[in-house]
Amino acid sequence: MIDRGFIKWQPFNSITPLKDTIKSIREKETWVKPTLFPEEIKVINDAIMEAYYAKNMINIVYYEENKIKKIKSFIKKINPSSKVIELGCGKKIYWKQIIHVDSYE
């Protein structure tokens, strides 16, 4: 049997321009920030405080620059006066940007 190596993948190079087009479309997408109910805000606040004091890893879904983004990190510092959360990766997120939180033990 003859090994063709990378030759067998050559037909898929025609898909590359389509891949670039899809990427540019996704970059242009904008999202509307969802409105949270007071109960959801309380659950998010409780999960953040619990993860902060227990030093657990936290997965935060937040709204920034008309996009919904996700980040997984530890909470380094919480500043209640400016309502900013500093994460271990160096990212700062405002409380009003947060949409959803999952904490890991």
**Average pLDDT value over all residues in the chain:** 85
Q: Residue 95 CB: number of other CB atoms within 10 A?
A: 17
pLDDT at 16 over 70: no
φ/ψ (deg, to 5) at 104: -120, 140
pLDDT tens track for 28-62: 778 888 899 999 999 999 999 999 999 999 999 99
Question: Is the sign of the CA dihedral 51, 52, 53, 57 positive or negative?
Answer: positive
Nearest to 96 by CA among 62, 49, 57: 62
Percent of the chain whose predicted confidence (pLDDT) is above 70: 84
φ/ψ (deg, to 5) at 29: -65, 140
Residues pairing with 84 in the sheet? 79, 94
pLDDT at 104 over 80: no
Does the global pTM surpass 0.95? no
pLDDT at 11 over 60: no
- What's the whole-number mean pLDDT along residues 68-90? 93
